[in-house]
Structure 1
Amino acid sequence: MDTKQAIIEAAAELLARSPSGDVSTRGVCEAAGVQQPVLYRLFGDKEGLLAATVDHVWDQYLGTKRVAEKSADPLEDLRAGWDSHTAFALAHPNAYKLMFAPTLRSAPEAAREAMRILREVLERLAAQGRLRVPADDAARMVMSANTGVALSLITRPALYPDAGLSTLVRDAIHHAILVEGGVDTSARDARVAAASTLLASLDGLTPAPFTPAESGLLEEWLERIPADGPFD
């Protein structure tokens, strides 16, 4: 193990045990057996160390998602993704809170990857005509709701003592973004679902039927459908 990795792992272990959710650079250096100048040379400052530590802890979680086999139904993957996200937050509360801490100047890379993985699942649903909002909007809705529930559970357990709240919010959000089988939808919902389906399939068309300029214009038109005036 190289020095940088040793420092990160020492920081991760101290962070997991920290009652306050914080670590000191002195404590990390002592645990890793290095001098503080080494830490600052490798990470720049404490914030750089914390960002690397968060990525390290989240990478273990995201690693399971990278190798997970896709189920036949992307909705099952969407539900499982929400539940595993909440479970991770409850198991690693300090690293989870740091991921979304406003004190970090830039979001850790893990935050971007988590959003990308979520969007891939939603694009599969869009390709099946099952999204009533564009995939980008749906990803932001799901991630913000999942994050909000998880942070509530780990930061205010007295106010939110039942982890079952996560399932209730999950199902409510999924109901809001999905066109459910057998449920009547408005003309607007049907049009938005059709637009989302077509948007999700554009990149997979081979050979490409449009020039880049034509594709950009078509995407702009399709993305306007949810935002423009009423269609009913």
Structure 2
Amino acid sequence: MEVAARETSRQRVVEAAADLLAREGRDAVTTRAVAAAAGVQAPAIYRWFGDKDGLLEAVAEYGYATFLAAKHADTRPQDPVEDLGTGWDLAVEFGLANPELYALMYGEPKRGTNSAAFQAGMRILLGRIHRLATSGRLRVDEDLAASLIHATARGAVLTWLSLPDDRRDPALLTAMREAMISAVTLDKPAVRDPGPAGAARALRALLPEQTTLSDAEQRLLGEWLDRLTTDRHKDC
């Protein structure tokens, strides 16, 4: 009972700090102001969060959880490229709707990145990327794709927020989105047939043209690729 009450009070402090941040900016988030807004004694904040930076870390985690709740993970999208664009749009829209919170979450490189909500959000993104890869539409490797997508969304929002109102042109966001999609995806699938068999056939066809592998390595890889395509025909 006591633990639950303490956790409820702690959450009330985090939400009060997030509300102050949204309404009045980061400078307004003082321990005194947050304590008054949450209806607790200031020493409680130090017990629960250590210091103001610890409180801000908790607010960032709250932001990641709020963002995660707004995400929709479609594990079978009709078009994985369109699904990628939709996810990017959602991230940008969240940032524009919550400027102070977004700046806290993403203005410092590693703030909140160890939180469960941040990691869950990254798994949704990695799922989108993996579906692009299995459909033959991914231009770069999956880790690089994740970095590019994350960097362009963050850069688009933080750049937008740094501009005066009269210089905020929606064309910036459109151009960033299209640049991201062009950098990460292919216009047509890299292989004709989805799955390992199609990829194996495509790689088998290109194998004689490469010079990185030795003759013995090429023969061994060729055997493996032949087995993948043969196994598929057996299943059929």
TM-score (normalizing by structure 2): 0.70
Q: 1:164 to 1:103 in 2, by over 3 A?
A: closer
Partner of 2:121: 114
Partner of 2:233: none
* 2:141 corresponds to 1:134: yes
Q: Secondary structure at the match of 2:170?
A: coil
Q: 1:108 to 1:49 in 2, by over 3 A?
A: farther
1:151 to 152, 158, 167: 158
> Aligned pair count?
189
- Post-superposition shift, 1:163? 2.6
Between 1 and 2, higher relative CO (CA 8 Å, sep ≥ 6) is seen in 1
- Post-superposition shift, 1:65? 1.5
Q: Secondary structure at the match of 2:71?
A: helix
Partner of 1:54: 60
Q: How does 1:171-210 map to 2 (within 5 A)?
A: 171-181=178-188
RMSD: 2.9
- Post-superposition shift, 1:114? 3.0
Output the CA distance in 1 between the equivalents of 2:45 and 2:137: 49
Residue identity in the other structure for 1:142 = I
Higher helix share: 2
Residue identity in the other structure for 1:56 = Y
Residue identity in the other structure for 1:151 = L
Q: 1:21 to 1:72 in 2, by over 3 A?
A: farther
Structure 2: any 5+ residue segments left out of the alignment?
191-198, 204-220, 222-236
Residue identity in the other structure for 1:121 = R
Structure 1: any 5+ residue segments left out of the alignment?
186-193, 199-217, 219-232
- Post-superposition shift, 1:19? 3.9
TM-score (normalizing by structure 1): 0.72
Partner of 2:79: 73
Please give the per-residue CA displacement for 1:202-221, whole angstroms capped at 9, x wherever unaligned: xxxxxxxxxxxxxxxx9xxx
Q: 1:166 to 1:27 in 2, by over 3 A?
A: same
Q: 1:105 to 1:157 in 2, by over 3 A?
A: same
Q: 1:147 to 1:167 in 2, by over 3 A?
A: same
For the pair shown, the structure with the greater C-alpha radius of gyration is 2
- Partners of 1:118 and 1:139 within 8 A in 2: yes
- Post-superposition shift, 1:89? 0.6
Partner of 2:132: 125
Partner of 2:16: 10
- Partners of 1:52 and 1:108 within 8 A in 2: no
